[in-house]
Amino acid sequence: MISRYTLPEIADVFSDESRMRRWLEIEVLATEAHAELGLVSLVDAKNCRANMPVVDSAFVAAVADRERTTDHDVAAFVDVVQDKIGMPSGAWIHFGLTSTDIVDTAQCWQLRDAADLILEALDRLLAGIIKRAQEHRYTPIMGRTHGIHAEPTTFGAKLALFALQLDRDRRRMRAAREQIAVCKLSGAVGTYSNIDPRVEEYVAARIGLQRVPATQVLARDRHAEYLYACASIGTTLESLAVELRHLQRTEVGEVREGFKPGQKGSSAMPHKRNPISAETITGLSRVLRGNLQAGLQDVALWHERDISHSSAERVILPDSSILTFYVIRRMTSLIDFLEVNADRMMANIESSLGLVFSQPTLLALIESGMSRDDAYRIVQQASMDAMAWNKPLREVLAANPDVKLSSDQLDELFSLQRALRNADLVFKEVTQIQF
């Protein structure tokens, strides 16, 4: 992933040094397990631990140099590690293992740690959205369907619904974390033919992973589930981002992204304040969904092992993890510093000339004895007249002799308070969200 969208906390999880440190730890733990089983001497196991090389940029470079000969990254890694540890102890490194034992287990270890960072960031974002939702629990805003004024709602209710959706994404990521936090050290084709199953049990316990049955590779539905959780988070944040982008349009003007001192919205037009965070989140969510497609295609492999998945995963798993973490953090900042213009929200409601109260009027006419179609046609024509004459709908209806509703009845039907009397019921669900 390009550095622009790579935050340091999660970048470290997927660095070459981090990956090879995990490889090395798995290899040494496996040697120690063999020692406990009596296959390897305790002296050799202790030597492997004591002489473990420092995995830094120089070590990574040495592996890369060796790979130019082996044309195999894990084989090159094993060669370098054995050389650093020295013989005869180093000969026990990678004993009974196949490369995928190391690669798959370390990769799942990385993804588990990435999931933990993502979940921590989700908690922070979710708390921020709930805080803003509570702040605007009773702030009226025009509800829109098809982009057209529909009926009033509240800005708090709007945010609360996004909070509930994001909480569902959080549960999806938790489930994906459990599915990906697994270990496989069962050798070629997964039959433990050259390695004792107790080695896998030993290593898994010490790195906090769950051992699972596998062929030579772990089943890739696990990775696809993780990628789906990432894509789902991105899609939820895109939905919120698109909403905020629409609300920031000049003609609407109900919210604005925060604007720090010295920031510039345009290189050409000094007046511009663009929804750049929301637009960035929208764009990156497309990448997350694209990566999911590749992950789903990686599930179908030949027999017990092929590497058609490997090249794709080297890109999509780190990138999706890094991007998911980034868009969560970017949205957190957007929400925390979002400027809400409650006066503009009310002005937009009032600009509709009361048309948004057409449904309660329709229902009142039905209750007065009209057929639904007759009542619908009366309110529809009155709405068209109100727009054509730029006159409040209430006045148009009051002047219509077919509308047998009193002035008090019309006042109640056109009451914003009546329309919003149940809008905050969504908060009953929000209060059930746990951290």
Copy the structure tokens of residue 154.
């509240």
pLDDT digits (tens, 9 = 90+) for 187-211: 999 999 999 999 999 999 999 999 9
Q: Residue 93: is its pLDDT beyond 90?
A: yes
Does the active-site annotation cover 246?
A: no
For residue 242, name the pLDDT band (cuts at 50, 70, 90): very high
Per-residue pLDDT band at 54 (split at 50, 70, 90) = very high
Q: Which residues contact 29 (CB under 8 A, 6 or more apart)?
A: 202, 203, 206, 207
What are 148's strand-pairing partners? 145
Distance of alpha carbon 431 from the chain centroid: 22
- Please report, as a single letter, which amino acid is at residue 75: A
Mean pLDDT confidence for 309-329: 97
- pLDDT (0 to 100) of residue 165: 98
pLDDT in the model for residue 354: 96
Percent of the chain at pLDDT > 90 equals: 97
- pLDDT surpassing 90 at residue 151: yes
The overall average pLDDT reported for the chain is 97
Contact yes or no for 375/295 (Cβ under 8 A): no
| Residue ranges of domains in the chain, CATH in brackets | 108-182+218-257+272-351 (1.20.200.10), 355-413 (1.10.40.30)
Judge whether 22 and 39 are in contact, CB under 8 Å: no
What is the helix (H) or strand (E) element at residue 382, kind and residue range? Answer: helix 372-389
Could you confirm whether 266 is annotated as catalytic?
Answer: yes
Average pLDDT over residues 149-177: 98
Do the Cβ atoms of 278 and 237 come closer than 8 Å?
A: no
CA distance 45 to 216: 26
In sequence order, what are the beta bridge partners of 334? Answer: none
8 A C-beta contact, residue 233 and residue 328: yes
CA-only gyration radius of the chain, Å: 30
* Residues of the chain above pLDDT 70, percent: 100
pLDDT number for residue 1: 82
In this structure, what token pair is assigned to residue 81?
């590690």
Catalytic member of 57, 72, 193, 266: 266
Which one from 3, 146, 271, 406 is the annotated catalytic residue? 146
Arithmetic mean of pLDDT, 70-95: 96
Report pLDDT digits (tens) over 371-397. Answer: 999 999 999 999 999 999 999 999 999
Decide: pTM greater than 0.75. Answer: yes
Confidence of residue 161 (pLDDT cuts 50, 70, 90): very high
Q: Which of 294, 329, 400 is nearest to 124 (CA)?
A: 329
**Which pLDDT does position 266 carry in this prediction?**
87
What pLDDT is attached to residue 172? Answer: 98
- Compute the distance between CA of residue 152 and CA of residue 277 in angstroms, rounded to an integer: 27
